[in-house]
Every structure is written in C-alpha cells, then in structure tokens.
C-alpha cells in the first residue's frame, strides 16, 4: 500500500518554548489543530467523504468551534453532546447521533439530524416511526468484537431480520443506512479492518440480494489512528473504500467517517515535575487525574538545555502522585538521569485524556449527605 505523505502540520505549541511555571498542567495546541482540520477537510471534500468529529473524544468548546469553522460535521452519543455541538454553531443536519444514551440527559432527540444510528431493530423501528432525520441507520456489530454495541448480524436469520427492517423502511420513503465502529484501528491493521467490514456487507447482500443497493448512507465510525485517517483521505486505502462503495452501494449518497483521536490526540500534552526517585521509577506531580486514559508507549520528553528531549525506551516507569498502584503514566521508558525538579512532557494527550477529565455530558452530584444518610 502506498505510503501517504505527512498531512499533520504543527503550529507553535504552547509548550514549545518551555514548560509552564506551575505543574501539573494540561496544554492544548489549538493552532496546530486548526491547520490539521483544514487539510483534513480539504482531503475529505476532494473524496466526497463527510468527516464528523467525535465529540466524546474531546468536547472542549474551543475545539468544537474550530471543527465547525473548518466545515466538518459532528458525531454525538448523547443529548448533552448534541446541545454542545449546537452551542458551537452546528445545525442539527450537521450532527450524527448514535450510542445507547441518545435520550440522555435531555429526554428528547433533536429533530432534523444528519443521521440517527440505532443498535437494535426495535430502536430502529421506533426512530423510523418518528422519522424527521435525513438518514436512519442501524449500527452493525463489528466482526469479532465483543462489544454490547451494534446489531449482531453473525447468523443468517439475524441478517434476514435486518434486511426486512431496512427494506420496509426504505419502501415507506425513509432513507436508510448502515454504520459500524471498531475501537482501535492502527494503520498496520487498516486493510484488515476495511476487508472485514466489506465482507460483512457482502454477507448481508447474500442473505437478501439487492439489500446493500438500497443503502443511502454508510458510516464507518472512528477509532482509527492518524496514519489510517490520512490513508483514507489521501492514500490507497481510501481509493479501495471508494471503489467498493461505488461498485456495491450505488445509492449511497453520504459516506461518513467519525475521527476523534486521529484529529486531536497529537495536540494535547500534560507537563509534570519529578518529585522523587526510586529504582527504575520516578514519581511526578501529574497523575491519572490528568492522564486518565492509558496509552501504550506514550511519548515523554524532559526539558534540557532549552529544548524538549525525548526519553528513550528502557526498563523504567513513571508513576503519578496518587498512592494507587494503577497510577502509572508511562512504562518501558529510560528514567536514568532524571532528577527531582525535572519537567516532563507527556504527549499524545489531546483525546480521551482530555474528555475523561471533564464531566461526560452532565452528572448529578450530591454535595452533602443528609443526616440520616450519614448515620446509615
């Protein structure tokens, strides 16, 4: 497969000229993200792909407004995320809504969405009955995935039930679609990911010939890394995908990708200070409170001689300030030569690390217990 050229320009990151005075500190390079969004939007437009930014990846309003300004759509998993998108300037017809929490916490679903995606046929039937959205989609469970999410089309009988539901909706004048999602798709597994999904669609068409020809929207979800997204927008992987859609789904008018971490992960960082040294381990003032999403081989740099120097691989690890044994921020890293007071930069922290530090939509917080609760 042809290697794609680099499409990830970087701005002047807020940590480029040195660490902040106070740590731990989370920083985000909004300038670099703006450039990334512009080139990705151009690549998607050239290939007729709709990019819908995954809000749950990082829901900062500063990011959502820049995503909207770049011309991308948005992908939400709750009413709260739909509201966040609209407050950032998105219209309902620029938002795809899926997941099991579509009614939470608002109790309603905004009308006129770009796509409403259901994981069950009962949910699909209910949404079709209310109609009002551009596309009504069923999300398919990805082959081999153990997730509770998505309709399981592994056996013939289930595929036939799905076909009946989709074709009945289409006959009533509803524009129908299919969606899927695989949590982690590194570039090395990209062609296997695409082949698996194409095989799933082929199995559906075999169960009910002509079914995929009725599909008007195809949503391939997110979960892929930045290299994989680049290959979809500029490389051979995208060409293979578009050829399949053209040949097998002649009525498909909208092809949606839902990138999240592929857009924002590289533009966030956490800076911490070394507090203590132990054999093959250092402790820093940052913790899993600042970096709650574990990342294998997370890049870590130390500020030395006026620049950030990347730490190499080794037998050490970096632990956070909490006493929990799970508070480990980096492993398999060379910590030799580090000293108390050294500033460390933990990169690749712009995606779920950021969102997990925020309230996921809304939450009810009991600030104080009643006397009878305390007594109990």
Over the stretch 44-103, which tens digit does the pLDDT of each residue have? 999 999 999 999 999 999 999 999 999 999 999 999 999 999 999 999 999 999 988 888
CA 339 to chain centre: 36
In this predicted structure, the answer to whether residue 107 has a pLDDT above a threshold of 80 is yes
DSSP summary character for residue 257? E
What number is the average pLDDT over the span 20-27?
92
Confidence of residue 104 (pLDDT cuts 50, 70, 90): confident
> What is the DSSP track for 77-104?
EEHHHHHHHHHTT--GGGEEEEEEETTT
Return the closest-CA partner of residue 128 out of 178, 78, 168.
168
> How confident is the model at residue 366, as a pLDDT?
56
Report the predicted TM-score, pTM, of the whole model to 2 decimal places: 0.91
Neighbours of 106 (CB within 10 A): 15
Please report where in the chains the tokens 């002509």 appear, as a residue. 210
> How confident is the model at residue 296, as a pLDDT?
83
Confidence of residue 362 (pLDDT cuts 50, 70, 90): very low
Measured distance CA(354)–CA(289) in Å, rounded: 10
In this predicted structure, the answer to whether residue 376 has a pLDDT above a threshold of 50 is no
Whether 79 and 92 have beta carbons less than 8 Å apart is answered as no
> How confident is the model at residue 131, as a pLDDT?
74
Buried (b) or exposed (e) across 151-160, using 16+ Cβ within 10 A?
Answer: bebeeeeebe
In this predicted structure, the answer to whether residue 165 has a pLDDT above a threshold of 70 is yes
Over the stretch 218-248, which tens digit does the pLDDT of each residue have? 999 998 999 999 999 999 999 999 999 999 9
> How confident is the model at residue 2, as a pLDDT?
44
Q: Angle at Cα 246 formed by Cα 243 and Cα 251, nearest 5°?
A: 160
Whether 282 and 316 have beta carbons less than 8 Å apart is answered as yes
> How confident is the model at residue 367, as a pLDDT?
57
Over the stretch 253-309, which tens digit does the pLDDT of each residue have? 999 999 999 999 999 999 999 999 999 999 999 999 899 998 888 999 999 999 999
For the record, the structure tokens of 38 come out as 């512009």
Return the closest-CA partner of residue 329 out of 273, 264, 368, 260.
273
Helix (H/G/I), strand (E/B), else coil: 180: strand
Over the stretch 190-211, which tens digit does the pLDDT of each residue have? 999 999 999 999 999 999 998 9
For the record, the structure tokens of 186 come out as 């590194």
Helix (H/G/I), strand (E/B), else coil: 358: coil
Helix (H/G/I), strand (E/B), else coil: 356: coil
Those residues with Cβ within 8 angstroms of residue 117's Cβ, 6 or more apart along the chain or in another chain: 96, 97, 98, 99, 137, 138, 139, 177, 179, 219
> How confident is the model at residue 360, as a pLDDT?
40
DSSP summary character for residue 350? S
Return the closest-CA partner of residue 335 out of 280, 257, 268, 263.
280
| Residue ranges with strand state E in the chain | 25-28, 49-54, 73-78, 95-101, 115-118, 135-140, 176-180, 217-219, 254-257, 268-278, 281-284, 300-304, 307-310, 313-319, 328-333, 343-346
Q: Angle at Cα 318 formed by Cα 346 and Cα 56, nearest 5°?
A: 45
Return the closest-CA partner of residue 95 out of 52, 42, 159.
52
> What is the DSSP track for 23-59?
SSEEEE-HHHHHHHHHHHHHHHHHHTEEEEEEGGG--
């Amino acid at each position: 497969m042809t290697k794609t050229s680099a499409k990830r320009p970087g701005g002047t990151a807020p940590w480029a000229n040195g660490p902040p005075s106070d740590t731990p500190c989370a920083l985000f390079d909004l300038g670099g993200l703006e450039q990334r969004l512009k080139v990705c939007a151009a690549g998607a437009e050239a290939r007729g792909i709709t990019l819908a930014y995954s809000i749950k990846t990082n829901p900062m309003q500063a990011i959502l407004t820049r995503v909207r300004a770049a011309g991308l759509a948005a992908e939400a998993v709750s009413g709260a995320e739909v509201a966040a998108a609209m407050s950032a300037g998105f219209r309902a017809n620029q938002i795809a809504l899926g997941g099991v929490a579509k009614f939470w916490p608002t109790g309603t679903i905004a009308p006129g969405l770009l796509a409403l995606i259901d994981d069950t046929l009962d949910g699909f039937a209910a949404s079709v009955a209310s109609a009002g959205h551009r596309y009504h989609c069923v999300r398919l469970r990805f082959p081999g995935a153990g997730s509770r999410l998505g309709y399981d089309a592994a056996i013939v009988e289930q595929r036939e039930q799905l076909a009946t539901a989709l074709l009945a909706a289409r006959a009533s004048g509803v524009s129908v679609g299919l969606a899927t999602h695989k949590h982690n798709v590194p570039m090395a597994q990209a062609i296997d990911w695409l082949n698996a999904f194409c095989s799933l669609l082929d199995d559906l068409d075999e169960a009910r010939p002509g079914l995929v020809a009725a599909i008007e929207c195809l949503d391939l979800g997110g979960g892929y890394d930045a290299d994989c997204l680049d290959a979809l927008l500029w490389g051979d992987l995208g060409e293979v995908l578009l050829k399949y859609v053209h040949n097998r789904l002649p009525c498909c008018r909208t092809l949606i990708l839902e990138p999240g971490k592929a857009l924002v992960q590289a533009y966030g960082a956490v800076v911490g200070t070394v507090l203590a040294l132990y054999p093959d381990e250092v402790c820093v003032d940052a913790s899993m409170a600042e970096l709650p999403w574990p990342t294998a081989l997370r890049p870590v740099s130390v500020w030395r001689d006026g620049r950030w120097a990347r730490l190499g691989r080794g037998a050490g690890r970096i632990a956070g300030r909490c006493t929990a044994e799970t508070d480990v921020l980096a492993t398999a890293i060379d910590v030799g030569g580090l000293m108390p007071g050294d500033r460390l930069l933990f990169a690749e922290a712009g995606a779920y690390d950021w969102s997990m530090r925020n309230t996921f939509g809304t939450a009810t917080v009991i600030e104080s217990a009643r006397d009878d609760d305390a007594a109990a």
